[in-house]
Amino acid sequence: MQIIRSVDELIGYVAMQKNHHHEIGFVPTMGALHAGHISLVERAVSDSDVTIVSVFVNPTQFNNPTDLATYPRDEESDFKLLAGAGVSAVFAPSVEEMYPSGTASDHVFELGTAAEVMEGKYRPGHFQGVAQVVKRLFELVRPDKAYFGEKDFQQIAVIRNMVKSEHIDVEIVACPIKRADDGLALSSRNQLLTAEQRRRAPEIHSALAWSVEYSRDHSVRATHDSVVERIDAVPEMKVEYFEIVDARTLLPVEEWDESPEIVGCITVYNGKVRLIDNIRYR
Ligand code: PAF
């Protein structure tokens, strides 16, 4: 596996692959890799001639400096996992390499209403930062397909909108959430949980899974409230938002028959650690 630190080297590497008409699969990550990331990588490796993974903690998508400072990093272990999964090259640049003229940008991406709700509301500027880095990565890596995990359900919708508005020719592949045996959605942030918080964390998925059954004979409002009540009753846990939305527009629904595809998206503070998850109702 080639480890690439500079933009120039990446451009050369990609040009060589394009000359050989190799299909490029791309998995953008912020490192602290776990089995969820590896499932995306494995999908890319099986679909493509060449798989490139980026490991870059993008400062422009963090609206909270403490969150950026405490974001877990372990490059050595990341590279080992990626090499073992059959990755062709990893791009792990510094912030200066990614943003040679600084991180500030005048460009406002058109991300649609999908970027204004939920994470867009609670993390102002987050999706502009995600769009900024993903666009730059797509321009450098020039992938045929790029793989994203459905744990960040809203991020996938926003990236699809960005790709459309910026006229980027890439197929966005959404991959299912990977969970621990006890149901907790795998996330780099899980490493930040204390033993006690980790023990309680599966309650998020349990409540969501239980609510799918509950929703069959209860209203959207009652389903929503019962999930929030159940999770808020767990010590140290507080729901930041839980929204039951149309899976395509991400706008809230009030009735179950309003849309053929409905998903519940949740963000929970478990102590100081912000965890997200989602569940399909329809
Ligand atoms: O999902 C993530 O890890 C990040 O938002 C991404 C897509 C790698 C952009 O920094």
211-243 per-position pLDDT tens digit: 999 999 999 999 999 999 999 999 999 999 999
Mutation choice for ligand 1 from 136, 137, 141, 152, CB with most ligand atoms inside 8 A: 152
Q: What's the mean pLDDT when you consider all of the chain? A: 98
State the pLDDT at residue 90: 98
State the pLDDT at residue 73: 97
Quote the strand ranges of the chain, DSSP E. 2-4, 24-29, 50-55, 89-91, 145-149, 171-175, 237-246, 262-270, 273-280
37 is catalytic: yes
Q: How far is the CA of 56 from the centre of ligand 1 (A)?
A: 8
State the pLDDT at residue 53: 98
State the pLDDT at residue 279: 98
The protein residue with its alpha carbon nearest to ligand 1, atom 8, reads 29
Mark the ranges of the chain whose per-residue pLDDT is less than 50: none
Residue among 150, 100, 101, 99 nearest 129 (CA): 99
Instruction: Tell me if 133 CB under 6 Å of ligand 1.
Output: yes
Q: How far is the CA of 176 from the centre of ligand 1 (A)?
A: 16
Number of CB atoms found within 10 A of residue 189's CB: 17
Pairing of strands 171-175, 237-246: unpaired
Q: What is the pLDDT of residues 105-128, one digit of tens each?
A: 999 999 999 999 999 999 999 999
Residues shown for the chain: 282
Given a contact cutoff of 8 angstroms between Cβ atoms, the answer to whether 189 and 64 are in contact is no
Per DSSP, 258 falls in state: G
70: left (phi over 0), alpha (psi -120 to 50) or beta: alpha
Q: How far is the CA of 129 from the centre of ligand 1 (A)?
A: 10
Given a contact cutoff of 8 angstroms between Cβ atoms, the answer to whether 105 and 132 are in contact is yes
Catalytic one of 20, 21, 22, 37: 37
